[in-house]
Structure 1
């Protein structure tokens, strides 16, 4: 059985740290099975959880239910991923969030490196003040060092 995602619009998305939840409701998710369209019904599971760091779907064993008239079929999420193009739709929805996590991590790494360089410079200035015997500058710089270390 091959399925094609006809429409997939999360009712809402929620990002909590590195996890993205895509929550679905009636009429927001449908698949083509053969020539027939089946609409998602939130009878069992209604969300897909994606780890934005690993880009992996986390709730693979959750059961999704689709209906056409009186006909219903149930399918575990892992199987739905195998027999449909769902992964492409998930990728397009989650890419913004993945990019945002990566940008935040890069910014944090850059900020950490800048802080490290500033601390190294402060230590060099303290050493210079010691070598030159400048007690006032030494006291000022060590107080600044204490403030910087407390801020971290």
Structure 2
């Protein structure tokens, strides 16, 4: 039975496509058969996550864990099968993910154009009411200006 005891990044590096969680000694530990094994950066020391899909990309990476002279290697594909590993990893990387919702600031220029078009439309409706000699429509439209 393998569970994650601790997962803390040494540092996090984000670029346009990936979040890279860099690991170091004493920042990553797992329980394997009720014994604590510490991460050692012998082979891989980075977890690469796609910022858009939120999926771990380097599935072939192998991580080494040591207890005394005993070293156990685990592939990333084994680690991501552990629910507690994924939960901790995504909580670390969450601030760096790209949101699909793009929050746009109000565009004041387009709002001004829309207001101007609405005013021109009101004036055309007033002209139409005058052409049709519709006094009631004329009075209600003038109040809206």
Q: How does 1:1-152 map to 2 (within 5 A)?
A: 2-83=1-82, 85-98=84-97, 101-102=98-99, 106-107=102-103, 110-111=104-105, 114=107, 118=110, 121=113
Q: CA deviation at 1:83?
A: 4.1
* CA-to-aligned-CA distance 1:99-134 (integer Å, 9 cap, x gap): xx328x512xx24x838x729938x77xx7xxxxxx
Deviating 4+ runs (over 6 angstroms): none
Greater Cα radius of gyration, structure 1 or 2: 2
- TM-score by length of structure 2 reads 0.70
Three-state SS of the structure 2 residue aligned to 1:106 is coil
5+ unaligned residues in a row in structure 2: which ranges?
121-145
- Higher helix proportion (structure 1 or 2): 1
5+ unaligned residues in a row in structure 1: which ranges?
129-152
**Aligned counterparts of 2:7 and 2:32: Cα–Cα separation in 1:** 15
RMSD: 2.4
CA contact (8 A) 1:3 1:85 kept: no
Aligned residues: 117
Three-state SS of the structure 1 residue aligned to 2:4 is strand
Three-state SS of the structure 2 residue aligned to 1:57 is coil
* CA-to-aligned-CA distance 1:43-69 (integer Å, 9 cap, x gap): 000000111210100101100010000
